[in-house]
């Protein structure tokens, strides 16, 4: 007899199958569970001892620690093997997943008419479509008998509603966690362990709920993964935030460093220091006496690895290099060619500089000549304007004199 661990249903129930044949890991099989005929994923073979450990583990889990689906099904089930999944079973399962999205939307429309304080999370068909499950969340008990009747009338099958918690909602719906990976509860985690704020403080994590909460709104499950390691380390230490008062200064315990098995202590004026856990009592006594503790490690901002210096080259007078006559001639020719190229480059650079200087000089002379020509033209215009003005003034005076002569004496007297 061989035991195989399988997972089935959207809530990812666990079960064991006992059969006499070999099953390939990662394949789908058809099983009969407490809910009915279902499609299950084979997770691999397990030993009888491991099966007993699974049973013991899930039997000891209380509803307060894991308020998984509140129904009659156990958390860990013994399943009946029916057959290996065929292509028709897989296509039927895919079709059901597509229909469940539309079923959930229609059920939410029906729920609006009943005005019940509940939230429909997910819908699930069994493989033979003899039963349709609806998972919902609610903060109180709900009388949904009239709602179930309307659902049965709409979908023409047996309806079961299961109330789940907010953590189970994240497990059923699935999604991505703050780390960017699939949520543990929707990927591999089978049970929920109680998590408290003390675990956050022990690990010196931020108390900001936005950083410590998952998509369910509760403390993230991964906070409990290192709980045992931190708990053992804190057994010999006071609580984080505790103060050690000395005659001259007060030290504050800020956290622990698991990698070095040290406690982090903030020393006034020097920053954070690391004190080994086994020397913490000696450190406290030293501080309380007012003495200077010298056996500590200052936490560096950036760890810099030492650079090995290369040995200096020492010239040895006996060091000789054998060079042939042909190689010497070749080296001399290369030097001559390099000199020629450098001289040609220098000549080109000098010619370019001279041409630029001549161009600038010509432009300066042209500019100066233009300025002088402009001054001459302006002076000519001024002189011409003065001459014209003098001519006009002389003609006006002459005209006035002529008018006076033409006037007769009676006219002058009358005027």
Give me the percent of the chain exceeding a pLDDT of 90.
32
The shares of helix, strand and coil residues in the chain, as percent rounded to the nearest 5, are: 45, 20, 35
Please, are residues 309 and 267 in contact by the beta-carbon 8 Å criterion?
Answer: no
Residue 90, token pair as written in the block: 């897989």
Q: Would residue 200 count as lying in a domain?
A: yes
Q: Which pLDDT score is estimated for 308?
A: 57
- pLDDT of 370 > 70? The answer is yes
Structure token pair of residue 224:
């409990």
What would the pLDDT profile of 104-133 be if each residue is shown by its tens digit?
999 999 999 999 999 999 999 999 999 999
Q: Are residues 43 and 164 in the same domain?
A: yes
Q: Are residues 212 and 102 in the same domain?
A: no
Residue 87 or 60, more confident: 87
More confident residue, 68 or 221: 221
| 62 in any annotated domain | yes
Residues 191, 102, single domain; the answer is no
Q: Containing domain of residue 119, as a range?
A: 2-171
| Contact assessment for residue 4 and residue 80, using Cβ atoms and an 8 Å cutoff | no
293 domain-assigned: yes
Look at 242 and 103; give whichever has higher pLDDT. 103
Q: What is the pTM of this model?
A: 0.61
Asked whether residue 335 carries a pLDDT value surpassing 80, the answer given is no
Q: How is residue 34 written in tokens?
A: 């407490």
Extract the tokens encoding 8.
């089935």
* pLDDT on residue 317: 47
Position 35 in a domain: yes
Q: What angle do CA 188, 192, 198 make, to 5 degrees?
A: 120
pLDDT at 410: 53
Of 134, 154, 171, the residue at which a domain comes to its end is: 171
User: In the predicted model, what is the mean pLDDT of residues 382-399?
Assistant: 78
For residue 328, being part of any structural domain is answered with no
Residues 74 and 213 both lie in one domain: no
Same domain? For 19 and 166 the reply is: yes
**Mean pLDDT, the chain, integer:** 82
**Whether residue 303 has pLDDT greater than 60:** no
Indicate whether 193 pLDDT > 70.
yes
- Residue 337 or residue 64, greater confidence: 337
- What's the mean pLDDT in 348-353? 78
273 in the same domain as 146: no
**Shared-domain flag, residues 11 and 152:** yes
- The pLDDT, as a whole number, for residue 257 is 85
| Total structural domains within the chain | 3
pLDDT tens digits for range 16-62: 999 888 889 999 999 999 999 999 999 999 999 998 988 888 876 64
pLDDT of residue 233: 83
Between 101 and 306, the more confident residue is: 101
Residues 58 and 123 in one domain: yes
Residue 399 is assigned to a structural domain of this protein: no
Residue 379 has pLDDT above 90, yes or no: no
Using alpha carbons, select from 225, 222, 191 the residue that is nearest to residue 59.
191
Helix (H, G, I), strand (E, B) or coil at 38: strand
How far apart CA 288 and CA 401 sit, in angstroms, is 124
- Asked whether residue 133 falls in the same domain as residue 25, the answer is yes
By DSSP bridging, strand 271-276 and strand 262-267 are antiparallel
Count of beta carbons in the 10 Å neighbourhood of residue 71: 15
- Whether residues 119 and 31 share a domain: the answer is yes
- Residue 212 CB-half CA count within 13 A: 17
Q: List the alpha helices (DSSP H) in 129-252.
A: 145-155, 166-173, 184-187, 197-202, 209-212, 227-234
255: CB partners within 8 A, 6+ apart: 203, 204, 240, 263, 264
Taking alpha carbons only, the member of 23, 153, 257, 296 closest to residue 6 is 23
> pLDDT at residue 403 above 60?
yes
Q: Are residues 160 and 251 in the same domain?
A: no
pLDDT at 189: 87
Whether 150 and 188 map to the same domain: the answer is no
Length of the chain (residues): 415
Identify which has the larger pLDDT, 237 or 117. 117
Tokens of 9: 């249903």
């Amino acid at each position: 007899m061989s035991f195989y661990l399988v997972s089935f249903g959207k809530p990812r129930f666990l079960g064991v199958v006992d059969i006499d044949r070999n099953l390939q890991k990662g394949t789908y099989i058809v099983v009969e569970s407490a809910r009915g005929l279902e499609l299950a994923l084979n997770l691999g073979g397990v030993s009888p001892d491991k099966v007993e450990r699974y049973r013991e583990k899930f039997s000891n889990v209380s509803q307060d620690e894991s308020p998984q689906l509140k129904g009659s099904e156990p958390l860990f089930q013994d399943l009946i093997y029916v057959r290996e999944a065929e292509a028709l079973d897989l296509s039927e399962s895919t079709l059901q997943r597509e229909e469940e999205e539309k079923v959930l939307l229609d059920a939410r429309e029906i729920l609006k008419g009943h005005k019940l304080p509940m939230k429909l999370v997910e819908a699930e068909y069994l493989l033979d479509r003899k039963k349709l499950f609806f998972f919902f969340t609610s903060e109180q008990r709900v009388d949904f008998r009239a709602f179930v009747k309307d659902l049965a009338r709409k979908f023409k099958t047996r309806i079961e509603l299961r109330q789940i918690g907010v953590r189970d909602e994240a497990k059923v719906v699935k999604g991505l966690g703050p780390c960017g990976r699939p949520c543990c509860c929707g990927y591999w985690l089978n049970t929920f362990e109680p998590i408290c704020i003390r675990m956050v403080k022990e690990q010196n994590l931020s108390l900001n709920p936005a950083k410590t909460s998952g998509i369910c709104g509760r403390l993230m499950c991964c906070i409990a993964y290192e709980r045992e390691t931190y708990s053992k380390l804190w057994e010999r230490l006071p609580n984080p935030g505790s103060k050690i008062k000395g005659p001259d200064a007060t030290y504050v315990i800020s956290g622990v460093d698991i990698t070095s098995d040290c406690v982090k202590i903030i020393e006034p004026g020097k920053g954070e220091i690391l004190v080994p856990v086994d020397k913490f009592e000696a450190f406290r006594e030293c501080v309380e006496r007012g003495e200077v503790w010298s056996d500590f490690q200052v936490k560096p901002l950036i760890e810099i690895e030492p650079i090995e210096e290369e040995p200096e080259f020492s010239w040895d007078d006996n060091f000789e290099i054998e060079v042939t006559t042909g190689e010497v001639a070749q080296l001399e020719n290369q030097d001559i060619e390099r000199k020629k190229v450098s001289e040609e480059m220098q000549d080109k650079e000098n010619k370019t500089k001279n041409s630029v200087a001549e161009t600038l000089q010509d432009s300066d002379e042209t500019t100066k000549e233009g300025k002088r020509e402009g001054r001459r033209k302006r002076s000519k215009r001024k002189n011409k304007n003065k001459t014209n003005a003098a001519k006009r003034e002389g003609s006006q005076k002459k005209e006035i004199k002529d008018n006076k002569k033409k006037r007769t004496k009676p006219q002058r007297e009358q005027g």
